[in-house]
Structure 1
Amino acid sequence: MSPDPSLALENTADTPDTAQQILRRVFGYEAFRGQQQAVIDTVAGGRDAFVIMPTGGGKSLCYQIPALLRPGLGVVVSPLIALMQDQVAALRQAGVRAAYLNSSLSLEEQREVEEQARSGELDLLYAAPERLLTPRTLALLERCELALFAIDEAHCVSQWGHDFRPEYLQLAELAQRFPAVPRVALTATADERTRHEIRQRLSLEQSEEFIGGFDRPNIRYRVTRKQNARDQLLRFMAAEHKGDAGIVYCLSRKKVDAMAEWLRGKGWPALPYHAGLDAEVRRRHQERFLKEDGVVMVATIAFGMGIDKPNVRFVAHLDLPKSLEAYYQETGRAGRDGLPANAWMSYGLQDVLTLRQMMDGSEANETQKRVERHKLEAMLAFCEITGCRRQSLLSYFGDTLPAPCGNCDTCLEPVQTWDGTEAARKALSCCYRTGQRFGVTYLIDVLRGKDDDRIRRLGHDRLSVYGLGSDMDAAQWRSVFRQLIARGLLSVDLDGHGSLRLTEACRPVLRGEETLELRKDPARAPRKRGADLRSRFDDPADERLFNALRACRRRLAEEQGVPPYVIFHDATLMEMVEYRPDTYEQLRLLNGVGEKKLTDYGDAFLEVIREQGVDA
C-alpha cells in the first residue's frame, strides 16, 4: 500500500501551523499533557520560562514546538554528547531539521552544520555549554536569526545540586548578548532552594515558572533491607525483568566492575560504566545499551543523565544515594514511556555508616556540609518511613499526593512498627558506658552478653548493660542501631572504625521524655511480583505480535544506525497490539505516529500486523 500523498510533512497551506497541528503532524500526539500548552504559548510568545516537569513528562516538546512555531533557529543547551545525538536522531526521524555541534564531528562536518545554521536550513541546533560559549559559536549565532534558547538539565547550574557543572554558570551570558531572544530552562529535579538558585544564576528572575508536578505514577518504589544485596538483586531481576533493559547503580568503580562480571556469569547481558573506563569503552557500552534490547548497565552515577531510552524497565540501587534529588533523578530513568517500571533499592546499616562518614569527612565548608547533612537525613527518612513512599518523595519537592499511592512497597505491604523506646535506651546506654569508641558489632556483642575475650579484657562484661539485650537477636539490634543513626540520635566517628557517639538529639529519649516507634524489619525480604511489562499480555497472540513488532523495529533501527526507540516507543507498539490497525488512517491515530514516520514505516508495521493476524 502506498501512502496518501497528502501525508507529506511539509505544510503547504498559506497559514502557519498551530502548536496543536505540529503536535499531531510532526510528533504524532493528539493532546498536550499537563502544562505543556501553557509553556509553549509563553515561549512562542517571546517570553522566558522556567519549567520543572517529571522525566517522561514531555519537557522536550516545550522548546521543540516553539522553535518550529517561531522564525529562526532554536538553540538547545545539552550537557552530554549521547543525549544530543539521540534527540537529534529522533527529531530527524520526525522530519525536523535538527543538528548538533560537538567533538564527535569532524572539522568538515562542523563547518557543514555551521553553514546550515547560517543559511536558515536548521530548525534546532544542539550544543554543550562549553561549545556554545566559544567565540566561534557565539559569532555564528550573532549572524543567525534566533527563535529561542533552551537550557536543558538546568539543575546542573546549582552548586547545591547532585549534577553540578561549572560551565553552566556561564550561561547567564546569553541574556546579556541576546536580550531579545526568549530563554526556557528545564529540569526534572529541583527543590525550592535549587529552583531559586537556578533562576538567579541564569538571570531568569522575571521568567514565568511552571511546576508540572513530580509524580511518576507508573514507577513502583521499593526499598528492601540489605541481607545479601547481590543475590537479592538477582532474584528481583529474574522474577520480574528477564529480557528487560535496566540500570544498576553502585557507589564505587570497583563494585561496578565486580557486579557486571558477576551478572554476566549468571547469564545476564551486563556492561560496566564508570569514569575510570577508557572513553571508547564507555562509548561502546552506552551504544549497546541504547541500541540493543535487554542490556543491563551496571554503573556509577557517571552514567544516566539525559539518557532518553524510554523502555528502561527497572533502576536498582545497590548503595544508598546521597540525596533524594539524586534518587529521584536516577530512578526517573525508568519507565519514560509511561509503562510500568520498578525502582528497587537495597538499604542497610553499612550504607548509613559509609555516607555519614563520607559527609562528615568531606572538605566542603560548613554551610555546604549543613546542606548535605539535611539532604542525607531526608534520604534516610525516606528509607525508614512507614507510610507511603510516594507521598514522602513528593512532599520533599513541595508536591502533594492526597492519598497513599498504592504502588510502593509500604502501600502494598504495610510496614509493622513497634515501641522501640526501651531498646533504644539500652543501645544508647551501651554506647555511652563503653566510652563511645566502638562500632555496632561490638556494641551488639556487649548487649547480647557474648562470651568474648576482648569484652572481658576491657571489663565490659562487668557493665550494667552487659547481657541486657539478650532477648533480641543480632539482626534486630542492627535494625535498632540503623534507625538510631538514620534519625540522628547516634553519629559516626571519623576514626575509620565506625565508632558511634551520642548526639544532643538522644537526650529526650534517655530522659524518658520521648518515645520511639521503630520499623519492624521482616524476617526476610518479601518476594512479591511487581511492575512487569510482560504481565500486560493475557493472550499469547498479543505477546507474539509485540515481539514481532519489536523485531521489525530492531531491523529498521539497525539499517539506519539509530536506537530502536527512535523508530517507535514500546508504548506505540503496545497500541498497535491493542488496536490492530489495518490501514494508514487507523495507524496514524496511534500516539507517536507522526506523518513522516507513517510515510517511512507504515507499510512495514502494517505488514507485520497482518502476518501475525493470519498466523493467529
Structure 2
Amino acid sequence: MTDQYEVLRTVFGYDAFRGDQEKIVSHVVAGGDAVVLMPTGGGKSLCYQVPALVRDGCAVVVSPLIALMADQVGALRQLGVKAAYLNSTQLPDERADVERRYLAADLDLIYVAPERLSQQYTRDLLSRGKLSLVAIDEAHCVSQWGHDFRPDYLALGDLAELWPDVPRIALTATATRRTHEELTQRLHLQDAQHFVASFDRPNITYRIEPKKQVNRQLLEFIQADGVVDGEPATGIVYALSRKSVENIAAFLVSNGINALPYHAGLDKQVRNDTLHRFLREDGIVVVATIAFGMGIDKPDVRFVAHVDLPKSVEGYYQETGRAGRDGLPSVAWMAYGLADVVQQQRLIQMSDGDAAHRRAQSEHLNAMLALCESATCRRQQLLRYFDQDSGPCGNCDTCLNPPKTWDGTVPAQKLMATIWRLDREHGQHYGAGHLIDILRGVDNKRMNQLGHKSLSTYGIGSDLDANAWSSVVRQLLASGYLQTRGEYGQYYLTEAGVPVMHGKVQQVFREDTRAAGRTRRPKTVAVSVDLSDDDRDVFESLRQWRTSVAREAQIPPYTVLSNKALEGIAQIRPTSSEELLSVNGIGEAKLERYGEAILEVVADSGAVH
C-alpha cells in the first residue's frame, strides 16, 4: 500500500485522522524523524502503525512491557496486519519462525523490548532485513529525570548511527520540558520534528482528599463511583508497597469487590493471568504497584485510585491517564497524608543517586504535594506542570466544590516557632506527631521524659485538633517553608520559612474536606452517545456477541470491535456489507472476519431503519 489515507480507511476503518496524526504520519512516511508528545488515548499508535504499512519494509516497535506485546500484536492481527513480537516468553522454535518471517519480508511490524534490542544478535538480525521505521514507545523511559527510567533505553540512541536511513519516531504520553529535552538528546533526535499535543483529558474528574481511614475511604469511593448503571466498573488501585497491595485487595474482596493483587513479588504466571483477566473481563479491579499499567490499551477503565502519594506529577498523570481512554467520564481519586510525604522524602534521602538526582526527586515530590494542597483547579495546575495553559475546568473537586480557606498565619508561626525552639534550646528535631502533641498540650510519659512541657509553645495550639494541625504541616511543606530530613522525618525550617515564622508572609490554607463532589456519570458504562431504547437493545446484543467472540478467541473484547464501532452499528443498523463498511472502526479485515455475523445480530435484534 502506498497511500496513508487508504490504509487508515481500509485497515483501521476510520475516515479521517485526529489532531496532529495526519501531520505526523505524513512526516514519517516521507522519511522524517519525529518526537511525539500526546496524551494517553490520543491515538499515538496510529502515528507509527500507519507509516509502517505505507513504507516498504518492517517496522520495529520498542515496547517496555513484554506482558502486553501479545495483546498489541493480537489487536493488529485482528486488522489483518502481519505483526509479531520477539521476547523471552517464546519457545526457541517460535522465535525462529518470527525471525524467518522477518527475513522473508513477511512482517509489517515486529515488537521488541529495549533489553532485547540492545543485544548485538537482535541488531544483526534486523540489519539483515529491510526496516521501514523504528518506533520508540514510552520514550520518557530514557530520561533519568523522568519517573519510569529504564537503563536499556539509553542504548537506543545508537540506532541513529546503526540505521541512519531509517526514520525514527519517539512517543510518550507524559514529559515535562526537562524530560522532553533529555529524551531528544539521548535518542539523538535533535533534528527531528516535534509534535506536542494538549495533555488535557477533559473526561477525567480529578479528586484528592486527606487520608484518614484509607481502606474505608477507598471502598466508599468504589461503591459510589465504581458502579455504573448497576454494573461493577473496571478500575485500577495503586499502592506503594506489595504488602499494601495484598491487604487492600483482600479487604476489597471481603466487601464484595472483584479485586486482584498485582506486584513484582507474585509468581509470573499469576501476574500474567491477572493481566489477561483485566484485559478480557469487565468489572475487574486490579490493586497494584506502579509496575502495572504501562502501555495498557484497555479503553473502558472507569477509575484509577491512589491510596499513597505518587512520587511525581508525571507518574500521577500517566497512571490516571489509564482511565477513560474511550472518552467517557472517568475518575482519578486519591487519598494522601502527611506520613506519605515523610516516607517519600525518606526514600529519596536513602536512594543511591547523587545529590543532583536526589534534588530532582525532591522537586518532583514537592510539585506533587503542591497539586494535592492546591485550592485552585486541579486540571489547571496539572497542565501548568507540563507548561500548558488552561482555564478552570469545572470538572474537578476544587471546581465542583471550591474549598473553604482560612487564615493560617498564626498557626504557621506557632508550629515554626516550636521547631525553632526545639533546635535552639534542645538541639533536637522531631516528626510531625510530636510537634503536634507539643502544640496541643498533650500530657504523656514521653513529653515528661523529654522535658518539652517547659517550651513556651507547649499547649498554645489547643484550639486546633490533630487533623487540622496535620493539614497545616502538609501545606507548609507544599509551600517549601518546611523540609524533613533523616530516617524518621524530622522537621526543619527552610530559609524561605523564616519570614513566615516572623509573621511577615500571610498564610491562607485550604480547609480539609471529604469526598467533595460526586462524579457526573454516563447513563451506561458502555455508551458515549445518546441511543434510543431500540438502538440500545441492538447495542447490548452486539456487546454480548462481541464478548462471546472474544472469549472463544481468547482476546480482549475491545480488539474485536470498539464500543464506538458498536454504537455506530446500532444507530445505522446496516443491512449490507457496504453500509457496514461506512461505520468508523470497520475496515476490510474486520468486515471479512465479522461482517456476516454482525449483520445477522442486527437483523435478529429488531427491524432495521
TM (norm. structure 1) is 0.92
Report what 1:506 is aligned to: 497
How many residues end up aligned between the 2 structures? Answer: 598
Name the SS of the counterpart of 2:524 in structure 1: helix
Name the SS of the counterpart of 1:404 in structure 2: coil
For 1:262 and 1:546, the matched residues in 2 are separated by 35
Structure 2: which amino acid aligns with 1:93? Q
Superposed CA deviations along residues 79-114 of structure 1, whole A, max 9, x for unmatched, are: 112222122111111111111111222221212111
Question: CA separation of 1:173/1:529 partners in 2, compared to 1, >3 Å: closer, same or farther?
Answer: closer
Question: CA separation of 1:582/1:342 partners in 2, compared to 1, >3 Å: closer, same or farther?
Answer: farther
Q: How much has 1:148 moved relative to structure 2?
A: 0.9
Question: CA separation of 1:471/1:566 partners in 2, compared to 1, >3 Å: closer, same or farther?
Answer: same
Report what 1:118 is aligned to: 103
Q: How much has 1:331 moved relative to structure 2?
A: 0.8
Alignment partner of 1:331 is 2:331:
no
For 1:513 and 1:235, the matched residues in 2 are separated by 42
Report what 1:566 is aligned to: 559
Report what 2:512 is aligned to: 521
Report what 1:149 is aligned to: 134
Q: Percent identity?
A: 52
Report what 1:6 is aligned to: none
Structure 1: which amino acid aligns with 2:69? M
Aligned partner (choices 403, 413, 419) of residue 415 of structure 1: 403
For 1:546 and 1:413, the matched residues in 2 are separated by 36
Moved more, 528-537 or 202-211: 528-537
Report what 1:5 is aligned to: none
Name the SS of the counterpart of 1:126 in structure 2: strand
Question: CA separation of 1:533/1:278 partners in 2, compared to 1, >3 Å: closer, same or farther?
Answer: farther
Report what 1:454 is aligned to: 446
Segments of 5+ residues of structure 1 without an aligned counterpart are 1-15
Question: CA separation of 1:501/1:342 partners in 2, compared to 1, >3 Å: closer, same or farther?
Answer: same
Q: How much has 1:580 moved relative to structure 2?
A: 4.4
For 1:577 and 1:233, the matched residues in 2 are separated by 36
For 1:613 and 1:465, the matched residues in 2 are separated by 77
Structure 1: which amino acid aligns with 2:244? K
For 1:143 and 1:560, the matched residues in 2 are separated by 34
Aligned partner (choices 476, 490, 505) of residue 484 of structure 1: 476
Name the SS of the counterpart of 1:477 in structure 2: helix
For 1:610 and 1:230, the matched residues in 2 are separated by 48
Report what 1:590 is aligned to: 583
Q: Is the 8 A contact 1:220 1:531 kept in 2?
A: no
Q: How much has 1:538 moved relative to structure 2?
A: 8.3
Superposed CA deviations along residues 383-413 of structure 1, whole A, max 9, x for unmatched, are: 1111111111111111222x21112111111
Q: How much has 1:57 moved relative to structure 2?
A: 0.7
Question: CA separation of 1:533/1:357 partners in 2, compared to 1, >3 Å: closer, same or farther?
Answer: farther
Alignment partner of 1:52 is 2:37:
yes
For 1:495 and 1:142, the matched residues in 2 are separated by 51
Structure 2: which amino acid aligns with 1:74? A
Segments of 5+ residues of structure 2 without an aligned counterpart are none
For 1:571 and 1:61, the matched residues in 2 are separated by 17
Structure 2: which amino acid aligns with 1:565? Y
Report what 2:150 is aligned to: 165
For 1:505 and 1:102, the matched residues in 2 are separated by 52
Report what 2:302 is aligned to: 313
Q: Is the 8 A contact 1:49 1:208 kept in 2?
A: yes
Q: How much has 1:159 moved relative to structure 2?
A: 1.5
Structure 2: which amino acid aligns with 1:30? D
For 2:478 and 2:288, the matched residues in 1 are separated by 26
Question: CA separation of 1:603/1:360 partners in 2, compared to 1, >3 Å: closer, same or farther?
Answer: same
Q: Is the 8 A contact 1:54 1:215 kept in 2?
A: yes
Report what 1:134 is aligned to: 119
Alignment partner of 1:534 is 2:524:
yes
Superposed CA deviations along residues 274-318 of structure 1, whole A, max 9, x for unmatched, are: 111111111111111111111111100111111111111111100
For 2:244 and 2:490, the matched residues in 1 are separated by 24
For 2:188 and 2:248, the matched residues in 1 are separated by 44
Taking the TM superposition and a 5 Å limit, the aligned residue runs for 1:77-96 are 77-96=62-81
Taking the TM superposition and a 5 Å limit, the aligned residue runs for 1:17-416 are 17-242=2-227, 243-401=232-390, 403-416=391-404
Superposed CA deviations along residues 103-145 of structure 1, whole A, max 9, x for unmatched, are: 2222212121112111221111111122234333222222222
Report what 2:437 is aligned to: 445
Q: How much has 1:533 moved relative to structure 2?
A: 6.2
Q: How much has 1:55 moved relative to structure 2?
A: 0.9
For 2:467 and 2:245, the matched residues in 1 are separated by 27
Question: CA separation of 1:57/1:85 partners in 2, compared to 1, >3 Å: closer, same or farther?
Answer: same
Question: CA separation of 1:531/1:384 partners in 2, compared to 1, >3 Å: closer, same or farther?
Answer: farther
For 1:84 and 1:38, the matched residues in 2 are separated by 27
Name the SS of the counterpart of 2:606 in structure 1: helix
Moved more, 435-444 or 18-27: 435-444
For 2:310 and 2:333, the matched residues in 1 are separated by 12
For 1:146 and 1:450, the matched residues in 2 are separated by 71
Structure 2: which amino acid aligns with 1:266? N
Q: How much has 1:32 moved relative to structure 2?
A: 0.9
Moved more, 148-157 or 77-86: 77-86
Moved more, 154-163 or 426-435: 426-435
Structure 1: which amino acid aligns with 2:458? Y
Report what 1:469 is aligned to: 461
Question: CA separation of 1:453/1:166 partners in 2, compared to 1, >3 Å: closer, same or farther?
Answer: closer
Q: How much has 1:541 moved relative to structure 2?
A: 5.8
Name the SS of the counterpart of 2:323 in structure 1: coil
For 1:70 and 1:264, the matched residues in 2 are separated by 50
